[in-house]
Amino acid sequence: MQHLHQAIQHCPRVAVYGTLKHGHRNHHWLNGADMLGQDRLTEITLYDLGPYPGAKLTPSTGVAVEVYAINAEQLARLDQLEGYFHHAPSQGLYNRTTLPTQHGDAWCYIYNPAVEQGSLMDSGEW
């Protein structure tokens, strides 16, 4: 058991807040990932973009996330899903940044385009 815990410690982590969460339409992209738990991140603010949410790197009262331990292949697939461009991160649909969670630092996808203030989700839940 200790060996498994150490292996998870060295895996990349991702904090998800929208369609990748359990019970939502894109959760299957996390098949095989280990859910580490939930958290609320105050470093980001959530916006309703219609079919999916987007987070901006601005302080809030907290956004509800699920944190998963993933492998490099899963991270590459998530980058593709989220429209993240390694060669030009600010030009993709999403950029990603590492944020602290109670389960360790985790990648979080940050929405690049401008958002309408009216789409702000004060509850931090999508």
- Domain harbouring 85, CATH code: 3.10.490.10
pLDDT of residue 10: 66
Segment 116-124 mean pLDDT: 88
d(CA 87, CA 85): 5
Residues 106/45, Cβ–Cβ less than 8 Å: no
pLDDT of residue 11: 83
Mean pLDDT (the chain) is: 91
Is 82 noted as a catalytic residue in this protein? yes
pLDDT of residue 126: 85
CB atoms within 10 A of CB 69: 20
List 73, 82, 116, 125, catalytic entry: 82
- Domain residues for the domain of 12 are 2-119
d(CA 20, CA 26): 5
What's the domain count of the chain? 1
Residue 117: pLDDT above 90? no
pLDDT in tens, 51-66: 999 999 999 999 999 9
